[in-house]
Structure 1
């Protein structure tokens, strides 16, 4: 069975992406399978740049097709922040709890109608020879005044899905995959996957 490497150690992302890749007869590996690969510094200023940095580095290190995503939360009332800095929004040693607390602080006093936001994701597959496949997706919603729900990770407890009115952390994994930025990006990536896989000679 052919293998692809997801350029992440985030178990939440690996679980989500592995489930969505079922049916493609691919062995899905995470970076935990390659302990020799150290931290890959995300120096890009856009989601696409960061996804490319990670995918290229992992494809070169493993000799396998690598799939990387960079995603984050854009909140309109604070100029699109935290954006590409979503994972490290609260600074060195950032945690989900600290990031969420900082976001709530930044939105203190902002009325509900101005708390519009979206999760955005760029997903990029890179072969060792440099061939690329790129897709993106967005998930519209708004930021609640208090967290709710026990599913998901990151900003999921604060993000309210525009369509259902439920917090992302209240959705099942299947419901989230159907709506989420990552799910949309991956479905777009997979739509073009057969042609890409043929091109890279797998």
Structure 2
């Protein structure tokens, strides 16, 4: 999906070469690099390039992903890929949503963030525990062109959290039809069914 104007445009292809992953989250960088493996890209993180983290002022996952991708492409002079993702809990009105990382605070303590979700659910009268992860990907070039893609996976929340794989809210998220949380699941299995995998399948079909 093109980020330029309202008229439909052909999706731009991504040539082999260096690509900036516009993230300072090592777990996210690792996962994105694994999903891009085999496509002839030399990936480097924004943190490795000492690029600043822009303020995420968008009101949607797509807007924040585009903001981060554009900033990294502008500063590096290279194509840049950004991910904005989060956990949306139905009974909490979609929270934490685009604020998923902020719920973990300055220290990025996702154990505390998961506890905050559970505490909020406990204040409700036997709420449903349905939730979904969303991943928006934005691929930006230094000339300002942007393509974006959005994926989703549905599931339920467990408590206490289970597993020490993955990152973020993975240990409390049980995908529909599975017996293991993302925190327990083999990463190859997670990559096959996750919200990020869904978005990446769309990206790979479109730009390679």
Shared fold (TM-score greater than 0.5)? yes
- C-alpha distance 112-143 of structure 1, shift in aligned 2 (>3 A): farther
Query: Cα gap change, 1:175/1:111 in structure 2, threshold over 3 Å: closer, same or farther?
Result: farther
User: Does structure 1 residue 62 correspond to structure 2 residue 113?
Assistant: no
Between Structure 1 and Structure 2, how many residues are aligned?
Answer: 193
Moved over 3 A (4+): 90-94, 109-113
**Under a length normalisation based on structure 2, what TM-score does the superposition of the two structures give?**
0.88
* Larger relative contact order (Cα-Cα within 8 Å, sequence gap ≥ 6): 2
Deviation digits for residues 145-188 of structure 1 (CA, Å, limit 9, x no counterpart): 21111101111111111121321101111011101001110111
Counterpart among 9, 30, 36 of residue 45 in structure 2:
30
Name whichever of 8-17 and 118-127 sits farther off: 8-17
| 1:104 to 2:114 alignment | no
Q: Which runs of 5+ in 2 are unaligned?
A: 1-15
1:105-184 correspondence to structure 2 within 5 Å: 105-108=119-122, 114-184=128-198
The answer to whether the 8 A contact 2:24-2:53 is kept is no
Residue pair 1:73, 1:86 contacting (<8 A) in 2 also: yes
For the residues of structure 2 that align with 1:77 and 1:146, how far apart are their CA atoms?
Answer: 18
State the shift of 1:92 in Å: 4.6
Looking at structure 1, the residues matched to 163 and 108 of structure 2 have their Cα atoms a distance apart, in angstroms, of: 21
Task: Provide the TM-score with structure 1 as the length reference.
Answer: 0.91
Runs of 5+ in structure 1 lacking a partner?
Answer: 195-202
Q: Secondary structure at the match of 1:169?
A: coil
**Residue 60 of structure 2: which of 46, 57, 61 is its match?**
46
Q: Over aligned residues, Cα RMSD in angstroms?
A: 1.6
Cα separation, 2, equivalents of 1:6 and 1:90: 22
Deviation at 1:130, TM superposition (A): 1.1
